[in-house]
Structure 1
């Protein structure tokens, strides 16, 4: 591995220190071999706390090492070689790493404290979309304009001020408005901040930020569907509509 690439890998690993694992309370004890693999990886990382899990894969001959920022590394059983990047099943023509990352990014939808989100009911509201957004996010504003016309969907928006110094102030003003949904859309769609009638109040923003770290949300918008699957970043309206419908149908069939 070139020194520049190696430094980039170490930098990415070091960033993981401040990002707690999504499901840290579900870890199982490591086997002796997994402990040896962990020790081997610890030799090349700045802090052993960035290693979230070590497990033997059911494919190839690797141990999968998941970092607390969600990245995946692969290590040979003897700990001699480490792979950083996508692992592809040539025969099945499948990106194993991409599929695994998708699996790791899923959440238990029931874990979402929906009372801490701005609620908007569109049409009959039978479908559900959860978003994590910052009021200064340009792509969130684009999403907000798309959602004006979405049909039969309940939208829950968790405010996570992570982009700018005044993001928290704007989030608080919107949450403390008499009509939160209207205040949110006034700002995100029409660029009008709440004026008058807004008083300081208790907000769930600190709890939302804890949730953001728990679910490894590193950018906005981040969306979750009712089946627990994640959509990272802005999604075109047609694709978003399809994803919401598929997730709704999937849960209905269980």
Structure 2
């Protein structure tokens, strides 16, 4: 009986443990990345659909590294027969997971709860296209699009735009304060516990490099500012399609 249990435990360990080849391959991948970017933080390493390559998430970016650590591919990998951007699909999954960090309590939301489309938008109060987008808020909402704002002050933590975002967040009526700020109204400077720095870090984590950065609930980035008719058309085109399709 004891011998049977011991054998079963050994078999389970053998099945669950990574092979020596996999360990060696991942070690080579890590060494290759560290040789290019010393001190780089590797978020994950996983098998890739690209033969003999690993899919690596590095600071929120998806790259591919060969098993022997010799080759690194930075860019999109397409499945031609399926007409699918495999890299974009991977990015979309990362974004969905990342955006879960910011629940409704961390967002300034415009639109009905039963909106057909809910978009996460990283915004900067002083960004011209962000202001232009906000001017169309009523039209977006009438089309069934809810806008859920997170802050991404492009000048970084401690900048004037960052301080404006804090003042908006600390206002009694955040939605009105944000609308006023985007219209150029000077708000009283306020301080309170706020998520602005966390929003900015999240934006960097999922690859935001400009504002407004607009993401669907499936993690698809659909660009920046779009007029209401263009935005609804784009959302309808994406409806039912997998990310990267």
Could you list the per-position Cα deviations for residues 227-250 of structure 1 after superposition, in whole angstroms to 9, with x for gaps in the alignment?
A: 343334334433422455577878
The equivalent of 1:38 in structure 2 is 29
8 Å CA contact 1:69–1:216 kept in 2: the answer is yes
Give, in angstroms, the shift of residue 135 of structure 1: 0.8
8 Å CA contact 2:44–2:58 kept in 1: the answer is yes
Larger radius of gyration: 2
Distance 1:125 1:66, change over 3 A: closer
8 Å CA contact 1:42–1:48 kept in 2: the answer is no
Distance 2:176 2:145 in 1: 17
Tell me the TM-score normalised to structure 2 length. Answer: 0.70
Q: Does 1:58 align with 2:49?
A: yes
8 Å CA contact 1:118–1:158 kept in 2: the answer is yes
Could you list the per-position Cα deviations for residues 161-199 of structure 1 after superposition, in whole angstroms to 9, with x for gaps in the alignment?
A: 2326211221122223332212212232x322336xx75
8 Å CA contact 2:107–2:148 kept in 1: the answer is yes
Q: Does 1:154 align with 2:146?
A: yes
Distance 2:95 2:113 in 1: 29
Distance 1:208 1:89, change over 3 A: closer
The equivalent of 1:193 in structure 2 is 186
Give, in angstroms, the shift of residue 72 of structure 1: 1.0
Distance 1:108 1:84 in 2: 21
The equivalent of 1:116 in structure 2 is 106
Tell me the TM-score normalised to structure 1 length. Answer: 0.68
Which consecutive residues of structure 2, in runs of 5 or more, have no partner in the other structure?
1-16
Distance 2:113 2:71 in 1: 55
Distance 1:29 1:53, change over 3 A: farther
8 Å CA contact 2:61–2:206 kept in 1: the answer is no
Give, in angstroms, the shift of residue 141 of structure 1: 1.3
The equivalent of 1:240 in structure 2 is 231
Aligned residues: 220
Distance 1:39 1:153, change over 3 A: closer
8 Å CA contact 2:34–2:40 kept in 1: the answer is no
Deviates more, 1:202-211 or 1:101-110: 101-110
Distance 1:62 1:137, change over 3 A: same
Deviates more, 1:237-246 or 1:174-183: 237-246
Give, in angstroms, the shift of residue 140 of structure 1: 1.1
Give, in angstroms, the shift of residue 134 of structure 1: 1.2
8 Å CA contact 1:135–1:161 kept in 2: the answer is yes
8 Å CA contact 1:117–1:156 kept in 2: the answer is yes
Aligned CA RMSD, in angstroms, stands at 3.6
Distance 1:213 1:90, change over 3 A: closer
Distance 1:140 1:213 in 2: 18
